[in-house]
Chain A
């Protein structure tokens, strides 16, 4: 039996085994922390930084990704402070400017309240969330995919760019990719957010920090939907 600890997220006390990812503990308790690169049961990467939260310790607060943060007794987490919301919005805005045509990213942007994009749009087909790499490595034990290169040259690739024999053709990489979901029919104007799904947010108006099983979350494959076993996008 693992040791249980109590952490406080946005004022709510949560009992969870020591060392659990704070993001997972919060999601299981029904607190909404939007996330992108996180997958339950797979090593957290902390790459997208969307699940950023504030940890208050000894009167000082520091921002960190909640997926890689391990629960410790007495930890105080702010998941919806003003600074957190601002940072989260700005980070998703960066993602949206990279891949404006991804349905998942658009849904994520609607969820965290990005209203406009202040950067010139690019049209990338990968945001390096690493879901495919880790699923291939850890879930399917195949290691057919990996990160190659550094900085702006970083990309996901097959070994020597050839599909290896040990690839099991399970298609997990494609299923989990936030870029492969059918694009929504919203307008793709430069600098704008699709916004068609914003109506989903009316559900959250009264309780902005509570998970309401929004369709947006289904769109970006929020870990809470993954926990429910609903991996198929809507």
Chain B
């Protein structure tokens, strides 16, 4: 493969690749990230290949396999150009028809188009999707035009020109200035100004400076980093190379969790290809600047997403956080100045360099600039990766982009920021997504998980779920986190099993405060957030668990009772037959024995007369 010896060679390579790409008469794009593959995109790919070969179109069709486009709900997606049509939920069985109808005859297959459940309309083009309409897809949008395993496509779409610009016309200080004045803030959750972090790292004395990309994403319900790293690994690499140039680093690491095999594979391939093209390694693009990147797989611990734990893990030690009174920009990996940023932060860097800091700073709110990707999941019609301008309200994301509640239920809350974040009620839905606004409301931007919950969710149970997760994922080093979370969980379990008292509620608040101030690292410090935020906005649910021994959502099994409405009961006996625990007996009429009942709800499903009530 041609090695780009200097920026000029890169530019001419870019031109060649672009022309080659446009020369294809037919272009087919299949999304095949982890979400696409889970929906069977690999089978679709094989079927498409077979049919394209059979139809003799092999030399005419450019079949591009990309990462996730964001619309995960309707994967696998297929985009045909120049017909400019989007097919959703494509199956291998559709492949033959797609080739014969759409590729050969250029007809649109109505059946495969997206039917909007909100407006009832049929959408033909990708650009008309209501899901994408309110989004600002600076980062995610690129996934659609790039085959992550082919550096050529990234270069053809303008990739690495930011690096060329930096190496030809900018000094490290100028790069720092651009990033600082763009006011980019870290996307990993903390929201620390990226420019300031770089400056501090550059200024810190040390024999070697390191840059690290933190791709150890582990929040339940969040997968933005996976989407980016799988779909566009070169953007992250390019950001890292520019960062390393500004900071004065010669070695970088991508710490990616091993549970993301596709991301690991794509990143490794990207590093190899970048080296082949002379974009990584010695004398990058002929400039007096060398930088190398190694891909390191995580060991499966959530806490390793914490910067000091990540660096300990990178050093080969047990992944445990240390006190952060001395920052990692001064003493990080191997006690040297280390700059760690999140995947999304790195991916933003080339865009800022190319379009200028004012372009970036023009987007967003007063103190949160640019766009942010959220993983919208839970009880909404459209789930997927949503990239919006900072300052978009939660309501717009959940109702306009997400399409509102599923199954006609009412939305009750949204959980943002993963286990470190909190639950916000509908009354807070007009909050803009902004680092400070969300923190003030008792939640957190976090890395960008957004789990929408409807009335079927019990908030005490939700808090319990997150504590359970954190209890398992805490490293166990410090007392407030290890014992405190365990005790909080103990109290919540008492609530959900009907043993709760009002004193315990005060104790819970006192304990939550202790854990948040006393813990060693951010995992512990933010661990009480799910409890504190649900206590703040859904205190009535806690109170009904404690005082009335009742779970309003009917989730907490110990507090749920099934009874048979004797008036509606037709004495058919279907419930008694269905009950796996023999808890229903016929004594003149059918009754449920509460002691034997395990609250599985099978009887309710079996009853043809709807006579079984849950209370």
Q: Does B associate with A?
A: yes
Q: With contacts A68-B325, A91-B514, A152-B471 known, is A49 near B482, CB below 8 A?
A: no
1/0 per residue A137-169: CB within 8 Å of B? 000000000010111111000000000000000
Contact A151:B471 (CB < 8 A) given known A46-B323, A94-B483: yes
The count of chain B contact residues (Cβ–Cβ below 8 Å) is 33
Docked-complex contact A90 and B514, CB < 8 angstroms: yes
**A-side interface size class:** 35 or more
Could you tell me if A147 and B318 are in contact, using CB atoms closer than 8 angstroms? Answer: yes
Flag if A118 contacts B514 (CB, 8 Å). no
**Is the beta-carbon distance between B483 and A98 smaller than 8 angstroms?**
yes
Cβ-defined contact, A154 with B323, below 8 A: no
Residue in contact with A150 in the complex, picked from B476, B480, B519, B520, CB distance below 8 Å: B476
Is B486 engaged at the interface, CB distance under 8 Å to the other chain?
yes
Chain A residues with Cβ under 8 A from B487's Cβ? 94, 97, 119
Q: What is the CB-to-nearest-CB distance from A124 to chain B, in angstroms, rounded to a whole number?
A: 10
Partner of B479 from the list A63, A91, A153 (CB cut-off 8 Å) is A91
Report if A52 contacts B (CB, 8 A). yes
Cβ A91 vs Cβ B480 within 8 A: yes
User: In the complex, how many angstroms separate the beta carbon of B440 from the nearest chain A beta carbon?
Assistant: 16
Cα A163 to Cα B447 with chains together (Å): 44
Contact B507 A118 (CB under 8 A): yes
**B518-A63 in contact (CB<8A):** yes
The residue from A44, A65, A119, A128 contacting B482, defined by CB atoms under 8 A apart:
A128
Contact pick for B490, options A90, A98, A119, CB 8 Å? A119
A46-B478 contact, Cβ under 8 Å, with A65-B520, A91-B514, A91-B518: yes
Q: Are B476 and A152 in contact (CB under 8 A)?
A: yes
Residue pair B476, A64 in contact (C-beta under 8 Å):
no
CB 8 Å contact bits of A76-92 with B (1 = contact, 0 = none): 00000001001100110
Q: Does A135 contact B (CB under 8 A)?
A: no
Cβ of B472 under 8 Å from chain A: yes
- Residues from chain A with a CB closer than 8 A to the CB of B517 are 52, 63, 83, 87
> CB distance A47 to B478 under 8 Å?
yes
Within the assembled complex, what's the spacing in Å between the Cα atoms of A71 and B513? 26
Mark each residue of chain B from 470 to 503: 1 if its CB lies under 8 Å from any CB of chain A, else 0.
Answer: 0111111111101110110010000000000001
Q: Are B476 and A154 in contact (CB under 8 A)?
A: yes
Q: Is B301 among interface residues, defined by CB-CB distance under 8 A?
A: yes
Contacting B at CB under 8 A, from A101-140, are 118-120, 127-128
A150 B474 Cβ-Cβ under 8 A: yes
**Is A47 a contact partner of B322 (Cβ separation < 8 A)?**
no
A32 within 8 A of partner (CB): no
Contacts of B478 in A (CB 8 A): 46-49
B62 CB, min distance to chain A CBs, angstroms: 48
Of the candidates B318, B487, B517, the one having the most CB atoms from chain A within 10 angstroms of its own CB is: B517
Question: A29 in the interface, Cβ–Cβ < 8 Å?
Answer: no
Residues on A with beta carbons closer than 8 Å to the beta carbon of B474: 150-152
Residue of A nearest to B303 (CB): A150
Q: What's the least CB distance linking A67 to chain B, in Å? A: 9
Q: Which residue of B lies closest to A49 (CB)?
A: B518
Contacts of B325 in A (CB 8 A): 64, 68-70
Closest Cβ–Cβ distance, residue B254 to chain A (whole Å): 23
Tell me, yes or no, whether A45 is within 8 Å of chain B by CB: yes
A117 CB, nearest partner CB in chain B, Å: 11
Determine how close the nearest CB of chain B comes to the CB of A134; give it in whole angstroms.
Answer: 13
Q: Are B486 and A152 in contact (CB under 8 A)?
A: yes
Q: Find chain B residues with CB under 8 A from A147 CB.
A: 318, 476
> In the complex, what distance in Å separates the CA atom of A168 from the CA atom of B325?
35
Do A47 and B479 have beta carbons less than 8 Å apart?
Answer: yes
A149 to B473, CA, bound (A): 11
Asked if A95 is at the interface of the complex by the 8 Å CB criterion, the answer is yes
> In the complex, are the beta carbons of A46 and B510 less than 8 A apart?
no
* A50: chain B residues within 8 A (beta carbon): 479
A27–B477 CA distance with the chains assembled, in angstroms: 24
How many angstroms between the C-alpha atoms of A157 and B322 in the bound complex?
21
Q: Which of A49, A94, A95, A151 contacts B476 (CB 8 A)?
A: A151
- Nearest-neighbour CB distance to chain A for B327, whole angstroms, equals 12
- Min Cβ gap A128→B in Å is 7
The minimal Cβ–Cβ distance linking B449 to chain A, given in whole angstroms, is: 21
**How far is B202's CA from A40's CA once the two chains are assembled, in angstroms?**
34
B511 part of interface (Cβ distance < 8 Å): yes
Which residues of the other chain, A, contact B477 by a CB distance below 8 angstroms?
A: 45-47, 128, 154
Q: Are A151 and B482 in contact (CB under 8 A)?
A: yes
Residue B596 lies at the interface, judged by CB distance under 8 Å to chain A: no
Check B326 against A87 for contact (C-beta < 8 Å): no
A142 to B435, alpha carbons, bound, how many Å?
48
Q: Is the CB of A151 within 8 A of B480?
A: no
Check if A87 sits within 8 Å of B323, measured CB to CB. no
Given contacts A87-B517, A128-B482, contact A69 B472 (CB under 8 A): no
Determine how close the nearest CB of chain A comes to the CB of B517; give it in whole angstroms.
Answer: 4
Contact flags B517-556 to A (C-beta < 8 A → 1, else 0): 1111000000000000000000000000000000000000
- Report whether B482 and A152 are in contact in the complex, using a CB–CB cutoff of 8 Å: yes
Those of A50-78 within 8 Å (CB) of chain B: 50, 52, 63-65, 68-70
Question: A120: nearest residue on chain B (CB-CB)?
Answer: B490
Question: Could you say which residues of chain A place their CB within 8 Å of the CB of B486?
Answer: 152
Q: Using A65-B323, A68-B323, A70-B325 as known contacts, say yes or no to A94 and B479 having CB atoms under 8 A apart.
A: yes
- Give the distance in Å from the alpha carbon of A151 to the alpha carbon of B475 in the complex: 5
Kindly state the separation between the CA atoms of A94 and B475 in the bound complex, as whole angstroms: 17
Across the two chains, which residue of chain B brings its CB closest to A119?
B487
A-chain residues with CB within 8 Å of residue B507 when the two chains form the complex: 118
Contact B322 A52, beta carbon cutoff 8 Å: no
Q: Which residues of B, 276-301, contact A by the 8 Å Cβ criterion? A: 301
The answer, among B322, B326, B519, for a CB contact under 8 Å with A70, is B326
Name the distance in Å between B247's Cβ and chain A's nearest Cβ. Answer: 24
Cα A156 to Cα B71 with chains together (Å): 47
**How many Å from the CB of A2 to the closest CB on chain B?**
16
A 167-186 to B, binary, CB cutoff 8 A, 1 in contact else 0: 00000000000000000000
Of residues B476, B510, B511, which shows the largest number of chain A Cβ atoms within 10 Å of its Cβ?
B476
CA distance A82 to B42 in the complex (A): 61
Closest B-chain residue to A52, C-beta based?
B518
| Bound complex: CA A130 to CA B275 (Å) | 45
Q: Is the CB of A87 within 8 A of B322?
A: no
Within the complex, the shortest CB–CB distance from A16 to chain B, in Å, comes to 15
Q: A46-B477, A91-B479 are in contact. List 5 more A-B contacts (CB 8 A).
A: A63-B517, A68-B322, A94-B480, A95-B479, A152-B486
Give the 5 A-B residue pairs with the shortest CB-CB distance, closest first: A154-B476, A68-B323, A90-B514, A63-B517, A151-B474
A-B pairs with beta carbons under 8 Å apart, 26 shown: A47-B520, A49-B479, A49-B480, A52-B518, A64-B325, A65-B520, A68-B323, A83-B517, A90-B510, A90-B514, A94-B479, A94-B480, A94-B483, A120-B490, A128-B477, A128-B479, A128-B482, A147-B476, A149-B476, A150-B472, A152-B471, A152-B472, A152-B476, A152-B482, A152-B486, A154-B477
- Point out residues on B near A: beta carbons under 8 Å: 301, 303, 318, 322-323, 325-326, 471-480, 482-484, 486-487, 490, 503, 507, 510-511, 513-514, 517-520
